[in-house]
């Protein structure tokens, strides 16, 4: 199981800079973008749980409290991006109805 934890941390380390950024929406429809944000949220939540368990476990691990804070911040930012996307989609649909 130690190998899995190490692999999780290695993957996290490689993409940690990307976790806070919005997903590039170039040439993506709203539904696809929404699904990507939902997948990102699932990944971040799983990562948060692994980090939490490792931080509170008895054995020393790879994750630090700074990693945990970054993951929490990435979760909040991703939720914000998803909420903004949904509001934009709703607004666009309402504007189309008003024009018709």
Number of domains in the chain: 1
pLDDT of residue 60: 83
Q: Range of 73's domain?
A: 35-100
Confidence of residue 4 (pLDDT cuts 50, 70, 90): low
Contact call for residues 23 and 77 (beta carbons, < 8 A): no
d(CA 44, CA 61): 18
**Position of tokens 């939902």?**
38
In a domain, 39, yes or no: yes
Report pLDDT digits (tens) over 46-58: 999 999 999 999 8
**What's this model's pTM, rounded to 2 decimal places?**
0.85
Decide if 61 is inside a domain.
Answer: yes
Q: Which pair of structure tokens corresponds to residue 27?
A: 């040439």
Residue 99 lies in a domain: yes
Reported as a single tens digit per residue, the pLDDT across 18-41 is 999 999 989 999 999 999 999 999
Would you say residue 41 lies in a domain? Answer: yes
Residue 30 within any structural domain of the chain = no
């Amino acid at each position: 199981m130690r190998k899995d934890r190490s692999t999780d941390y290695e993957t996290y380390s490689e993409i940690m800079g990307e976790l806070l950024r919005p997903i590039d929406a170039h040439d993506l429809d709203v539904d696809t973008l929404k699904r990507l944000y939902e997948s990102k949220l699932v990944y971040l939540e799983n990562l948060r749980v692994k980090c939490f368990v490792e931080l509170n476990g008895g054995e020393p691990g790879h994750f630090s409290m700074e990693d945990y804070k970054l993951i929490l911040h990435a979760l909040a930012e991703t939720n914000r991006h998803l909420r903004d996307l949904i509001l934009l989609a709703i607004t666009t649909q309402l504007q189309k109805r008003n024009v018709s």
